[in-house]
Structure 1
Amino acid sequence: MITRRDTLMSGLAAATFYSPASAVTAARAPAVRTKSGPVIGLREDSVSVFRGVRYGASTEGRRFQPPSPPAPWRDPVRAVDYGAASPQRGSEANQSEDCLFLNVWTPGADAARRPVMVYVHGGAYSSGSGSDPLYDGTRLARRGDVVVVTLNHRLNVFGYAYLARLAEGFEDSGNAGQLDLILALRWVRDNIAAFGGDPNRVMLFGQSGGGAKIATLMAMPEAAGLFHSAATMSGQQVTASGPINATTRAQVWLKALGLTPERAHEAAEMPAARLLEAAGEADPILAASGLYFGPVLDFRSLPRHPFYPDAAPQSRGVPMIIGNTREETLGFLGNDPKNAGLTWDTLPARLTPSQLRIDITPEAVIAGYRRMHPDWSPDQVLIAATTAGRSWRGAVIEAEARAASGAPAWVYQLNYPGTIESGRRGAFHTADIPLVFDNVAAQGSRTNGPDAQGVADQMADAFIALARNGNPNHPGLPTWERYDLERRQTMLFDARSTMADDPRGDERRFFSAIPYVQPGT
C-alpha cells in the first residue's frame, strides 16, 4: 500500500534543487529515513549533503538541563540549510537556543559502511558553530570515501554555567554542552548507517576548543563506545574546572545579573542576551577577560579529570592523534601592533600572566630563552614562550600520559606557515584546519601558497587513515611512529614532512620545571 507520506517522500527525492552558489549538480535529491523521521538533502559536487539535521529537541524552555532527543516527525524535512548556532557573543549568524543540529556529507546514502569523521568545532567553549566554510566536508568526504559530520551544541553559560551547588534542578548544568555532544554521537550511532557510514568506525576530530571537548569526552562514561578513534588539534583538557571554582564563577555571573545565589533559578527565564552580557565580567580565578565557562568536575557525567592524574582508563584503547602548531600564539598576538618590533626592554610587559598562564616572571622566561636561543629576536621569544608555556604544554602532558599508560598516540607539530591578517607568517593557531579538511582554497583559509595542497594531501590522508584503520600511516608520509617517553617521536608537517625526536626539547624541559594549571581550572 502506498501512503501519502511515501508519495511525498518519492516526490521530494526526485526533485532537483538548483543553487549556483553551491554548484548543485542536476541529480536526484538524496533522501534518508532517520530514526526520528525522513530528511531530504542535496547532491553537490558528487557528494550528498544534509544540512541542519535535528539531533536534539529545542533547549528553549529547558535551559541548563540535559538535552532530549527530538520529537519524531512524519513528513520529510528538507535538510538544505545549516541549523542555528548556540547563543554567543560575536558575529556568528543565526543564533538560537534551538541549536541541536548537525550536518552530513557522504559520497552516497547507501550500504557502503564508510568510516565516519565527526568534527567538533573550536571557539573555546564559548563561540563557533559547525557551519564555518573551512569545515565544509565535501572535499574530505570525496577524497577519502568517508562520511563527514559537523555539529552545533550549547556553549558558554548555556552549556557550562555550573548552578548545581546553588539551586535544585540544575545538577547537570556544568556539562550540558558535553551532554549535547554525547546525544549527537548517539544520533550518529543510530542513524549514520542510513547515510552510508559505519557506526563501528567513528572518529572524533576537533581543533582548539573542539579538541578540548574531545579530551573531556574521553573521561565521560556516557561517551564510552560512541567513538573509536580521536584526533585533537591544538586543543587539550588536562583538568576540568573544579566545582568550587565553577561555583565561584557562577556567583560572579549571577551578581552581574542582579541575582543572589538563592535566586539562581531565575536565570533560566531571563533573556539570552542578558545572560551573555553578564558573562563579560572579569573572571575571579583566571587572568583573562570574561568569565570562563567550561566542563566541570561534577562527579556525575564527569567523574574525573580527563588527563589527571593519568589518561582516563576508559579511552586508553582509543587510537589518538595529538597535534599542535609551532607558532600557536601568533594567531592570538600577531595582529596586535604592540607585539611587533619589540625590544628586550619592551618584551617583559608583553609576557603577561594572561598570556603565559603560569606562575613565572617574564624576566626568568627571557633569560631562559636567551640562553637557549641567543640568536632569536624579542618578537620570536614572545611567540615561542607563550606557545610553549600556554598552548603546547597541555598537548605534551596528554601525550606523556598516553605513553605512560601504553595507550596509542601519534603526535604532530605543524611547521608549514600560513599568513595572518598583519602579514606575519608562521604556523599559527587554526592553520591546520584547512589542511586537514583539504580546504586550502576555501573562504577564510590563510594556509595557502605553492606547497599548501601537498601538506593538505599528507594531513587529510593521515586523518582519513586513522578513521579507517585506527592508524594514521599512509604511503604519502614517512613512517609515523607512536610517541614514547624515551624518544618523543613527532611528525613535523611541512612542505617536506619529517619525523623528529623531541622537537623543541629545550623549551619543553624549561617549562616542565614550572607547575602547569589548565586554563579554567
Structure 2
Amino acid sequence: MFKISKLRLWARSRPRGLRLSAGAAMALGLMFALGARAPLESAAAGPLVNTKEGPVKGVIGNGVAQFLGIPYAEPPIGDLRWRPPKKHAPWSGVLQATAYGPVCAQSNLFGVFAGPANNNEDCLYLNVFTPNIDPAGREKLPVIVWIHGGGNVDGETPGYDGSKLAAQGHTVVVTMEYRLNVFGWLSHPALDNEGHLFGNYGLLDQQLVLKWVQRNIAQFGGDKNNVTVGGQSSGALNAALSMVSPLAKGLLHRVICQSYCPAPLLPGGYSTPLATAEARGVAFAVAAGCGSGTDAATAKCLRSLTAAQAGALRGNFTAGQGVVDGQIVPMQPMTAFATGQFNHVPLINGDVEDEQNFFLAITEYNSNTNNALRTPPTAEQYLAYVNNTFGTSAYPAGTPARILARYPLNAYATPQLVWDRVGTDASICGQRVLDKILAPQIPVYVYEFADQTAPFYFPKMPGLVSLAYHTSDIQYLFPLWSGGPSPPSIVRYLNNKQEKLSDQLVAFWANFAWTGNPNGQGNSPWPRYTTRPSKPAWLIQKTPASSTMTDAQYAALRNCDLWDSVVPPLP
C-alpha cells in the first residue's frame, strides 16, 4: 500500500518560483492525496511504462515511482569491450525494473568510498525516479541526469536515490552506471585505429543515456527538451566534458558541477593528451601479456583477457579527466571554454569548504586496517606533498617555497589543517579561473558548501577532524548516501538544521533545472557570478543560514592572488 506518510519529508512543497499548469498541479495533488495516478493504480501492481525498447515495471518508494536497473546498452563484453556502447535491443514481455543493476567493475581505492570491488562488465543500467508518470506525455517535468563520482575509477548508483530531488523538486531524476577505470577510459593504438570512437568509453556511455532520455523520458513525465546534466567530483568533470563534446549538442540544456568542472590547479583538471593516454595503454597491454604491438592481433589479445585479468591491473590505471581524442573531446576543455567552442548552457559550479580533507581521510584510512594504528597526516608528509605536487616543471620555479611561506606549518594547529587549506585553496582558485572565463559567455552561479558538521561516513580516526570535506554535500541531495556499501561505510543522518539546508539545496537545484536560474520567483539570495567589486558573486551554503560574498572577498579568503600566479600551462 502506498502510504501518504512516506511523502512528508520529500514532498513538502514544490521549489519556490516554479509554475505548474492546472493539469500538472491537479495530477500531482491526486498522486499525493490518493497515492496513485494512472497507471499507478496500486503499489502492489507497480507502475508500468512503455519505453521504445519495451515495457518496464517499477516500484513505489519514498513518494515516487522508481524504475531501477533498466538496461540502456548491450553488455560491453567480448567483441564489444573497448567499443562505443551499443543501444540495447528491444525485449519481449515486461522487464522487472525493481532492483538496481550490477555495479561496474572496480577496485576499492578510496577507503570506504565507492562501490564494492568486483569484475562486472555487464553493468550498463540506468534508474529513473519520477513523481509524475504520464504515458501521454502531457505533463513535462525537467529532467536531471546525475553522474556519480569516484575518479572515473570507481563508484556506484545505489547510494544516489533520487526520490527527494524528484518528489520535492518535481523533477525526473536519472542515474546510471558507466564503465570505469581501464574498462571505460583505455586508449591504445590497436583499438584507436579500428575506425570507431575511442578512449572515452565511459563518457560515451553517459551520452548514450542522454540519447535514451531523448527517446523515452516523456513516458516518465519528463521533458526531453529540458535536461540538466549534473554530477559530483569526476561526475562533475564528466558533465563538463559533455559541455565541450560536439556529440552532446542538443542533448543537455544546463550543467551542474559539484566539486568540480575541469580547471587548472586541480589534479586531473586537464584532460590527458592522446599520445600520453596511448602510451599508458601500451604499458597496460604489456603488463597484461599482450605485448607492445599496435595491430589487430594486439586488440584481439586485449579483448580475450578475462575481466579478472584486466581488472587485476586497473588499480594503477588513472582515468583522470578523459582523453583529448579529437572527436568526443576535440580539445582541452579549458581551450574550448576560452575560445567559446562548447555547448553554451547555464552552469552551476561549486566546491566544498574543505575539499582536500576527504583525500587526507582516505590516506589515513588506508594506512592501516586497524583503526587504532592509523596515523594522521604528519608535518613531513605535508612538506613532501607541497614539494612533490607543486615542484614539477609544470609550475614556475620556486612555487613550493612561495606556498610554504603563505601557509606555514606553525600557523595551524595540525598538519592536517594546513594541508587541507593548501589543497582546497588551489582547487577552488583554479575553479575561479574557469568561472571568470565563462561568466561573459553564459549564466554562471558559483557556491561553496560550508557545513563543517556534515555527516562523516568514515570511522572516527586518530587526529582527524572531518570538516566540510569533498563528497560531504552529496547526502543533502541524496539522503540515503553514505559513501558506499555499509559496512565499511558508516550510515549517519542529517539533523534538523541540516535537513533545512538540504531542502534549500534541493530547491536551488530544482529551480535551476526548471528555469536555468537557481532562485525562485521574487527571491534572489543566489547572485549570478560577477567580478564587479561591489556585487555579491558567491553563495556560501551553511547552517543556520547561507550568505554571500563578493568575488574579491572570496579571492582574498582563498589566497587566489598566489594561485593565479602559478597556474600551469595546458599540456
Structure-2-length-normalised TM-score: 0.78
Q: Residues 41 and 119 (structure 1 numbering): CA distance in 2 closer, same or farther, change over 3 Å?
A: same
Q: Is the 2:245–2:342 contact (alpha carbons within 8 Å) kept by the matching residues of 1?
A: no
Cα distance in 1, alignment partners of residues 223 and 272 from structure 2: 34
Among 298, 304, 309, the alignment partner of 1:264 is: 298
Q: How do residues 339-378 of structure 1 correspond to structure 2 at under 5 angstroms?
A: 339-340=376-377, 342=378, 347-351=382-386, 353-354=388-389, 359=395, 362-370=400-408, 374=411, 378=415
SS in 2 for 1:479: coil
SS in 1 for 2:126: strand
Give the % identical residues: 30
Cα distance in 1, alignment partners of residues 413 and 45 from structure 2: 59
Aligned to 2:52: 35
Q: Is the 1:316–1:407 contact (alpha carbons within 8 Å) kept by the matching residues of 2?
A: no
Q: Residues 450 and 46 (structure 1 numbering): CA distance in 2 closer, same or farther, change over 3 Å?
A: closer
What's the offset of the Cα at 1:315? 4.2
Question: Deviation string for 1:204-224 (max 9, x for gaps)?
Answer: 110001001011111111101
Aligned to 2:104: 86
Cα distance in 2, alignment partners of residues 356 and 434 from structure 1: 36
Aligned to 2:422: 385
What's the offset of the Cα at 1:338? 4.1
Q: Confirm whether residue 317 of structure 1 aligns to residue 335 of structure 2.
A: no
Q: Is the 2:119–2:308 contact (alpha carbons within 8 Å) kept by the matching residues of 1?
A: no
Q: Residues 497 and 67 (structure 1 numbering): CA distance in 2 closer, same or farther, change over 3 Å?
A: same
Q: Is the 1:161–1:293 contact (alpha carbons within 8 Å) kept by the matching residues of 2?
A: no
Question: Deviation string for 1:93-134 (max 9, x for gaps)?
Answer: 6752222110001113113211111100101111112222xx
Structure-1-length-normalised TM-score: 0.85
The residue identity in structure 2 corresponding to 1:84 is: P
Among 470, 474, 484, the alignment partner of 2:530 is: 484
SS in 2 for 1:28: coil
Among 173, 176, 186, the alignment partner of 1:161 is: 186
Cα distance in 1, alignment partners of residues 182 and 429 from structure 2: 27
Q: Is the 2:144–2:171 contact (alpha carbons within 8 Å) kept by the matching residues of 1?
A: yes
Q: Confirm whether residue 139 of structure 1 aligns to residue 139 of structure 2.
A: no
The residue identity in structure 2 corresponding to 1:369 is: Y
Give structure 1 stretches of 5+ with no counterpart: 1-24, 282-289
Q: How do residues 53-132 of structure 1 correspond to structure 2 at under 5 angstroms?
A: 53-61=70-78, 62-90=80-108, 92=116, 95-110=119-134, 111-132=138-159
Among 447, 466, 491, the alignment partner of 1:412 is: 447
The residue identity in structure 1 corresponding to 2:260 is: G
Give structure 2 stretches of 5+ with no counterpart: 1-41, 109-114, 264-269, 365-373
Q: How large is the RMSD of aligned CA atoms in angstroms?
A: 2.9
The residue identity in structure 2 corresponding to 1:103 is: N
The answer to which of 486-495 and 109-118 deviates more is 486-495
Alignment length (residue pairs): 481
Among 265, 277, 280, the alignment partner of 2:312 is: 277
Aligned to 2:501: 455
The residue identity in structure 2 corresponding to 1:244 is: A
Aligned to 1:308: 335
Cα distance in 1, alignment partners of residues 539 and 522 from structure 2: 13
The residue identity in structure 1 corresponding to 2:466 is: R
Among 441, 464, 474, the alignment partner of 1:433 is: 474
SS in 2 for 1:383: helix
Cα distance in 1, alignment partners of residues 443 and 467 from structure 2: 29
Cα distance in 2, alignment partners of residues 142 and 430 from structure 1: 23
The residue identity in structure 2 corresponding to 1:499 is: T
Among 26, 37, 45, the alignment partner of 2:62 is: 45
Cα distance in 1, alignment partners of residues 471 and 102 from structure 2: 23
Q: Is the 2:119–2:307 contact (alpha carbons within 8 Å) kept by the matching residues of 1?
A: no
Cα distance in 2, alignment partners of residues 117 and 295 from structure 1: 22
Q: Residues 440 and 65 (structure 1 numbering): CA distance in 2 closer, same or farther, change over 3 Å?
A: closer
Cα distance in 2, alignment partners of residues 182 and 64 from structure 1: 16
The residue identity in structure 1 corresponding to 2:204 is: L
Q: Is the 1:438–1:453 contact (alpha carbons within 8 Å) kept by the matching residues of 2?
A: no
Q: Which fold has the larger relative contact order, with Cα–Cα distance below 8 Å and residues 6 or more apart in sequence?
A: 2
Q: Confirm whether residue 513 of structure 1 aligns to residue 558 of structure 2.
A: no
What's the offset of the Cα at 1:179? 1.0
Cα distance in 2, alignment partners of residues 166 and 145 from structure 1: 43
Cα distance in 2, alignment partners of residues 365 and 334 from structure 1: 22
Cα distance in 1, alignment partners of residues 474 and 192 from structure 2: 40
Cα distance in 2, alignment partners of residues 477 and 384 from structure 1: 33
Q: Residues 416 and 514 (structure 1 numbering): CA distance in 2 closer, same or farther, change over 3 Å?
A: same
Q: Residues 387 and 175 (structure 1 numbering): CA distance in 2 closer, same or farther, change over 3 Å?
A: same
Question: Deviation string for 1:49-106 (max 9, x for gaps)?
Answer: 1000111111112111111111111211111111122211135267522221100011
Q: Is the 1:327–1:426 contact (alpha carbons within 8 Å) kept by the matching residues of 2?
A: yes
Aligned to 1:287: none
SS in 1 for 2:158: coil
The residue identity in structure 2 corresponding to 1:88 is: Q
